[in-house]
Amino acid sequence: MGRIPEQARGRDSMLPNFLIAGAAKAGSTTLYYYLAQHPDILMSSGKEPRFFTEHWDKGLAYYEQWFTAYAGEKAVGEASPDYLASQSAARIQQILPDVRFIFALRDPIARTRSHYWHSIGNGRESRSFDEMLAGGRDEWIIRSSLYYTNIKHFLNFFPLERMHFVITEDMAKDLSSCLRGVFEFLKIDLNVPIEDEGPKNTAKIRRSEAIRKALVGINRSGALRKFIPLRMRPYALQTYKFLRDKNYRPFTPPELRAEQVKFLSDIFTPEIEGLEQLLGCDLSIWKRYHCLS
């Protein structure tokens, strides 16, 4: 589990009382922006603090910085999709023992396909899809779709009644009903109109690997802070973000081959059936294994 860094312990802090904890490429970004519109909700100052996975060693002082805009909201949350497939539940229980969870879940084959191409687009993955499949259940992208296994791990630390599940396909069909369910779970005003801004974090792929590497190098070196005068940094940062965003273009991932679908179906069918029993719901829409972008 790991200990909290000493300098972070014993402090009064404003920390979240709910987490959008996964899954990646299943609508967590969309939920983050929708929930941020509600006056009773404060979302973290940026999406994906990833405190309980990547940034644990930075301590609570680091985590608190994401919620400094708190002004008395009833619900305070953040969205870090990598929590679901990680072993972070014990850390979360240590810091946020009463926290509630929102899990956005999508057809696991469609989610895996989308996550793979997202990772190709951002440079995290370079293998072919078949090479990635060779890792089976142990492959990091596939692990993120093992919903039943992952939720059972969380149930070792938190009760089911503190978990709310958003099925991505249902959210696409009836956004208002989905959001009302989330608001009811968070015990806040159900009658707040939310502007439908459409899906977020849609598939993109980089135009130039050389530009991506150059921008990553600039970011990691801290060049914007070290060499740009303070008064010019906002303009430099705008330019950096403009170049980063322009280096990506919309992308429709290719369809999976029948043998790829069969391979993933054999892995995910028991996971779907286990989740249906756990939640008492019908997830037959996922058993069709239509591939969504």
pLDDT band (50, 70, 90) for residue 2: very low
Pairwise CA distance, residues 4 & 58, whole Å? 9
pLDDT in tens, 92-117: 999 999 999 999 999 999 999 999 99
Exposed / middle / buried, residue 5 (Cβ in 10 Å: 0-12, 13-18, 19+) = middle
pLDDT tens digits, 202-239: 555 555 667 656 755 666 566 666 677 777 767 666 77
Q: What percent of the chain shows pLDDT beyond 70? A: 77
Quick check: 22 and 144 in contact, CB under 8 A?
yes
Q: For 120-154, write each residue's pLDDT tens digit.
A: 887 888 999 999 999 999 999 999 999 999 999 99
User: Residue 241 — pLDDT band, cuts 50, 70, 90?
Assistant: low
Strand residue runs (E) in 50-199: 75-79, 100-105, 163-167
Q: Is 102 helix (H, G, I), strand (E, B) or coil?
A: strand
User: Are 292 and 285 a contacting pair, CB within 8 Å?
Assistant: no
Among 27, 25, 276, CA closest to 172: 27
56 contact partners, CB below 8 Å, separation of at least 6: 2, 91
Tokens of 168: 């991505």
Model pLDDT, residue 292 = 39
pLDDT at 10: 36
d(CA 138, CA 130): 14
What is the reported pLDDT for 220? 59
- Using a CB cutoff of 8 Å and minimum separation of 24, what contacts does 266-269 make? 267/136, 267/137, 267/142, 267/146, 268/108, 268/109, 268/145, 268/146
Confidence grade of residue 9 (pLDDT, cut at 50, 70, 90): very low
pLDDT of residue 131: 95
Reported as a single tens digit per residue, the pLDDT across 156-206 is: 999 999 999 999 999 999 999 999 999 999 999 998 877 766 555 555 555
Instruction: Give the pLDDT confidence score for residue 291 in this predicted structure.
Output: 43
**What's the CATH architecture for 6-199+268-287?**
3-Layer(aba) Sandwich (3.40)
* Residue 290: predicted pLDDT: 46
CA within 13 Å, CB half, 92:
28
* All residues at 6 or more sequence positions from 187 whose CB lies less than 8 Å from its CB, including other chains: 74, 75
What average pLDDT does the structure give for the chain?
85
The arithmetic mean of pLDDT across residues 78-90, rounded, is: 95
What integer pLDDT is reported at residue 286 of this predicted model? 93
Q: What pLDDT score was predicted for residue 106?
A: 96
Q: Which tokens in the block code for residue 144?
A: 């993120």
pLDDT digits (tens, 9 = 90+) for 244-290: 666 666 667 789 999 999 999 999 999 999 999 999 999 999 986 54
Residue positions counted in the chain = 293
Looking at the DSSP bridge assignments, the partners of residue 79 are: 20
Could you give the CA distance from residue 246 to residue 235 in angstroms, rounded to a whole number?
16
Question: What's the predicted TM-score (pTM) here?
Answer: 0.79
C-alpha to C-alpha distance for 87 and 33, rounded to whole angstroms:
26
